[in-house]
Amino acid sequence: MSVRKEYRVNGVDGFIIDYVRQWNGTYKIYARQHPADPYGRSASYTHLFGNGQICIASGREPRSLDAAKTIAGHWMESYSNYTRTGQMR
C-alpha cells in the first residue's frame, strides 16, 4: 500500500511525499518532489538518498502511517531550512 501527500512548508517549498508500507508493517518514506539541494551535501547530512528515500535509522522505522507522517514533517521542516541556510535542524 502506498499513500501520496502534497505539502507546502514555510509557505514556499513544495514537497510530494510517498509513504510505502512494507511487508513487515513498517513504512518507507520517499520525497518524490522537494526543493533542489543548493549545497550538494550527501545523504549522511541531508538524510535524503539519491532515489528520494528519506533515511531513517535501522530499527527506528515507523510502524504506522501517523508515525511516518510525523517523521516526514520533521524532515521537511529541516530540509526546507537547509535549502535556505545550509544547516539541517
Name 87's Cβ contacts closer than 8 Å, sequence gap at least 6: 81
Three-state DSSP at 22 gives coil
* Burial environment of residue 53 by CB neighbours within 10 A (0 to 12, 13 to 18, 19 or more): middle
What is the pLDDT at residue 56? 96
Q: How far apart are alpha carbons 68 and 84 in whole angstroms?
A: 25
Beta strands in the chain (DSSP E): 2-9, 13-21, 27-33
Mean pLDDT of 58-85: 96
pLDDT digits (tens, 9 = 90+) for 35-71: 999 999 999 999 999 999 999 999 999 999 999 999 9
What is the pLDDT at residue 89? 83
Q: Answer yes or no: are the C-beta atoms of 37 and 84 closer than 8 Å.
A: no
Q: What is the pTM of this model?
A: 0.94
